[in-house]
Structure 1
């Protein structure tokens, strides 16, 4: 049953959220947000206050229906969590179409009306406007406009473009009922092995701060309102400097280190996000090791548990007053099928789930991410460990955002209009063009524009036999009529007058796309999605490529840097892309959309250099290609030889 829309005798239309047939102050759209929150808070039961403080995964049925029981990852059915546990913040996973997403969102809001005060649901999402999918970090949703990864946006260093991208994201999210973004990611990609770099805006703290600010304003506007999407900036105070590049989702990656003393650089984008008015902030899983901020010894526990950093630094020193949402599953282990992922309780593994919850609350957490164990918090309240005042402190922040977003006044979307509002021709074309523009050209045969002659690629590096079979060379842009052989490139993506041939022997040039290297792992839940470990390509790759009897244009699809040194021996043209489709890459190398990207991170020349580097220092890897490099768009005039 929906909360009915009623009209008073003096013409005020409102939703009768508590079904009592009269206009109460918290239902009155004429009052300020503060007044409405003040009226609602004392009306709420402890169960309702507790429900507000949990934010977990939810899944939608293929036809937009609510799930009656657990999903692939969600542990409970929709009714169990919304009505039974009084929860109303959910991170939605896979969606199949705009109509399905909008229909499901409306049904979820209708279900929320069965609770005592019809507190509307805030539907959140991880990023879903790029092609990559990782059940722990992002979703591919091809009915939305498709853009490069944030690293690709960073390659263009265009604040206005990032604002426009985020504004389109906002419009598309709002059309299907998504009102909270679990992004932008403001981390610095200073450790080349770290698995989550593609979500970032690169390694330069000043650039990341500028683009983070633009993303927040694009999502939220100048202030939160009924057409806004609330931004959750993550992962405070910067998740990039992971020891050995391992990710803190996993026990072996729990440590963050600052041997170069660059904590303040990692913090800068979060200061900027606070000034931009980000609605929420998410600390990361990692625990700081050996960190000294002049605050006494910083406890070596996960950032979500760290009172010195959340209350002392974030709240008091930086003055942040918004929501602090923990990252997922800090309290309980996550069991999915026959796989387990231990609770990311780094430094407090010895504590019980209830003790972990108390430490999180004491640190300053407002909301428990990825958890639905409301019974634990209810027991802590009943036993006197947590006061109602502490619940109201967090509930006030959470309710304020819901009121600002206009969800109490009307949380529903137009299911019929939704398909036409997402993936519009203009947004789709701009996303594709941006992908093509973001391509980074590292080597172009006529110029061989590298740091020095030692990195040039003479033909003598190839075997005499193969070199003699290569006719001509390759250079950008490819002209119409060029015969191309494809390796890991979709034939239907080819455009610009190129002619596809079946054999490399018949080609003027071979087009090769390679995934950046990583070490496959699959012992823990989610682990297979995270590309970690060595940045070296398999040793046989360059020998296989060297035997292809035509000049090669090679692209590396980089979700993180790679050691490209071996490819210099076999590539006539070498490009790097960050979330770029085959179609967009072809447009770039044919000059239909000239490639303008510059590297947002440095690319190392060897793994030895990476292992010797300091994880918190950008570019500390004796780079083969430094950040900012492009052979097509040089940052500075090339020296005269």
Structure 2
């Protein structure tokens, strides 16, 4: 082992002597020179090894010495940082690249991977004039200002661009940071990018990216295949790493106990024990057994579970701020988070919600000391980073609305929050410390945790990505082979009357998809599949009148940001599905109903056990492809999926459900389809 002076006696002389003694004490130890990524800093040669001179002082500082552990390096760098640097380090906000659309509008002046500055923001007064996309000078925070003035080093990437563009953008950002005092690299965080989902929203997930497309989280759960889920996490890790994204705002360890919650699709279902097993595989697949230079650090969310909002409302909004536990099952939510902590999750994100009717203070979880310090750190033993959700200081300050911004910072940080999301400018936090309202010890504890993560990830040695490698790896065929299997395994066969499935060869099939409008879309879409590019032994026809069998694939939507506070219905007609058209077809010929379940939809308008009509089969999807679905329908793939939650039999059953109780415990008469239900041929 190394021989070191205690941290408290470090001085420039002690550091110098310590390096000499370290070398003498470690003559029999061997180190492997890591690959160093740099653009402008000098390289120091010490003991036959190379080190980056990040603070450009011509000597090897403790934090620059990759032979030392992350705790030693973090403490040394912490001692060199000013209050302004520390406060900026505790902020995380969205950061934009220029983007392909704006780059195209610049007539070649800019590249899509350019760091977005104020001059490239669209001027609302110039809408309709493409020449003004670049010319509009809106007052926005530029990348340079965030890095140089605000000392930000944590950023959220929400843009949906190609892997090469993301890698090039990362490199420009890292070079900007490298040229700043102390040379602290940036870390880029993203929401999930590897899933097919019908209700993706900015701030929750992205859909249809260049990253390999797997089923939605509910679909992964429906596979009942923990090994495949681990492979999903590992393959996704490799893609993210190649592009330079080193941290995820994911995954949701919340339980889907309230069927109306608009974020059910981001969960792994309603069973806490099964979700806990999945979370273990997710963490180990993305992070490994411990954080290292190949890891993607995860931020598990939303502690202590956000799935039981009153009447299914979401706490992004004032009308959904209350989280209730009428079934007395608050602590069921701990199982998946215990699993995440045991597996080593790097960070945990509390939700905006405020608990009602528990032993905890009725304030949002980011401000809730009993929950964050007492429960999370005390009872569960979590030692990582607590990352607030985006906006609790300035917008979703539930339970502390009457406090000033300064008082909110004080309460959140003293409660246990380490990094504040949704803010770039740290001046308010700096003022809180300078005014003596907040002890500097809280700041140092937080910055230490944030620094340690960066050192563990190897970002101080090499934060740069290889755009060529990213372009080659992301979405490659070897990843698609496994994702293709998962897309098929995620499909659940729920009913198969009169052995209607698999479809017989040469059957004349009418295949129509009903897709509800997503965020930003104005109307529903109905499309008819008539091409047979995959060579199925079926004849696809253009009208129901020509068909022997109809396949009707319904894709409802429950976009989070469409909420108005009105009572939530899970009926298909309320989710923009043309129920009249579905029934018209199903009454005319044998029909296979396929429902894409982002929520546990109520389908009694088109299917009722007492009045099945010509419906011969019912299947559930959770984000998959037409080809995967047809492989199941034709018997090329024998269905294996199992429902990750129960689906209510009626809206009345939904209204009477207990928000914190999983469907399989709601009692007789609640479910049409039951948790873990699923048939095979």
Give me the TM-score of the superposition, normalised by structure 2.
0.83
Q: Does 1:42 align with 2:79?
A: yes
Residue 441 of structure 1, aligned match among 493, 512, 524:
493
3-state SS of paired residue (2:270): coil
User: Measured at CA, do residues 494 and 240 of structure 1 come closer, stay the same or move farther in structure 2, by a change above 3 Å?
Assistant: farther
3-state SS of paired residue (1:146): coil
Asked if structure 1 preserves the Cα contact closer than 8 Å seen for 2:160 and 2:209, the reply is no
Take 1:176 and 1:541, find their aligned partners in 2: how far apart are those partners?
Answer: 41
User: Measured at CA, do residues 352 and 366 of structure 1 come closer, stay the same or move farther in structure 2, by a change above 3 Å?
Assistant: same
Take 2:495 and 2:158, find their aligned partners in 1: how far apart are those partners?
Answer: 39
Asked if structure 2 preserves the Cα contact closer than 8 Å seen for 1:53 and 1:367, the reply is yes
Instruction: Indicate the residue corresponding to 1:99 in structure 2.
Output: 164
Give me the TM-score of the superposition, normalised by structure 1.
0.88
Instruction: Indicate the residue corresponding to 1:337 in structure 2.
Output: none
Instruction: Indicate the residue corresponding to 2:601 in structure 1.
Output: 562
Offset from partner CA, 1:577-630 (integer Å, 9 cap, x none)? 111122221222122222211110000001111111111110127111111111
Instruction: Indicate the residue corresponding to 1:253 in structure 2.
Output: 320
Instruction: Indicate the residue corresponding to 1:346 in structure 2.
Output: 398
Residue 572 of structure 2, aligned match among 533, 537, 556:
537
Residue 317 of structure 1, aligned match among 362, 379, 383:
379
Instruction: Indicate the residue corresponding to 2:676 in structure 1.
Output: 628
Asked if structure 2 preserves the Cα contact closer than 8 Å seen for 1:56 and 1:370, the reply is yes
Residue segments in structure 2 that go unaligned for 5+ positions in a row: 1-37, 100-111, 123-137, 514-527
Q: Does 1:482 align with 2:507?
A: yes
**Alignment RMSD (CA, Å):** 2.2
- Per-residue deviation, 1:74: 11
Take 1:532 and 1:414, find their aligned partners in 2: how far apart are those partners?
Answer: 49
Take 2:241 and 2:114, find their aligned partners in 1: how far apart are those partners?
Answer: 19
The more displaced of 567-576 and 268-277 is 567-576
Take 2:295 and 2:248, find their aligned partners in 1: how far apart are those partners?
Answer: 10
User: Measured at CA, do residues 477 and 320 of structure 1 come closer, stay the same or move farther in structure 2, by a change above 3 Å?
Assistant: same
Residue 407 of structure 1, aligned match among 451, 459, 465:
459
Offset from partner CA, 1:515-563 (integer Å, 9 cap, x none)? 2365x89xxxx43699982011228954432322332212111110111
Q: How many residues align?
A: 586
Asked if structure 2 preserves the Cα contact closer than 8 Å seen for 1:203 and 1:601, the reply is yes
Offset from partner CA, 1:68-126 (integer Å, 9 cap, x none)? 12858995221111112100111101132111010001111011113211111110110
Residue 502 of structure 1, aligned match among 542, 555, 563:
542
Residue segments in structure 1 that go unaligned for 5+ positions in a row: 293-297, 333-342, 448-474, 634-641
1:463-478 paired onto structure 2 within 5 Å: 475-478=500-503
Take 2:80 and 2:324, find their aligned partners in 1: how far apart are those partners?
Answer: 46
Instruction: Indicate the residue corresponding to 2:188 in structure 1.
Output: 123
Instruction: Indicate the residue corresponding to 1:111 in structure 2.
Output: 176
Residue 581 of structure 1, aligned match among 625, 646, 650:
625
Instruction: Indicate the residue corresponding to 2:524 in structure 1.
Output: none
Residue 413 of structure 2, aligned match among 319, 343, 361:
361
User: Measured at CA, do residues 398 and 565 of structure 1 come closer, stay the same or move farther in structure 2, by a change above 3 Å?
Assistant: same
Take 1:41 and 1:542, find their aligned partners in 2: how far apart are those partners?
Answer: 61
Take 2:656 and 2:40, find their aligned partners in 1: how far apart are those partners?
Answer: 61
Residue 301 of structure 1, aligned match among 355, 363, 374:
363
Q: Does 1:552 align with 2:598?
A: no
> Which aligned segments of 4 or more residues in structure 1 are displaced greater than 6 angstroms?
528-532
Asked if structure 1 preserves the Cα contact closer than 8 Å seen for 2:640 and 2:679, the reply is no
Instruction: Indicate the residue corresponding to 2:114 in structure 1.
Output: 65
- Per-residue deviation, 1:329: 0.3
- Per-residue deviation, 1:142: 2.5
3-state SS of paired residue (2:293): coil
- Per-residue deviation, 1:33: 1.1
- Per-residue deviation, 1:242: 1.2
- Per-residue deviation, 1:377: 0.6
The more displaced of 407-416 and 8-17 is 8-17
User: Measured at CA, do residues 26 and 310 of structure 1 come closer, stay the same or move farther in structure 2, by a change above 3 Å?
Assistant: same
- Per-residue deviation, 1:130: 1.1
Q: Does 1:147 align with 2:217?
A: no
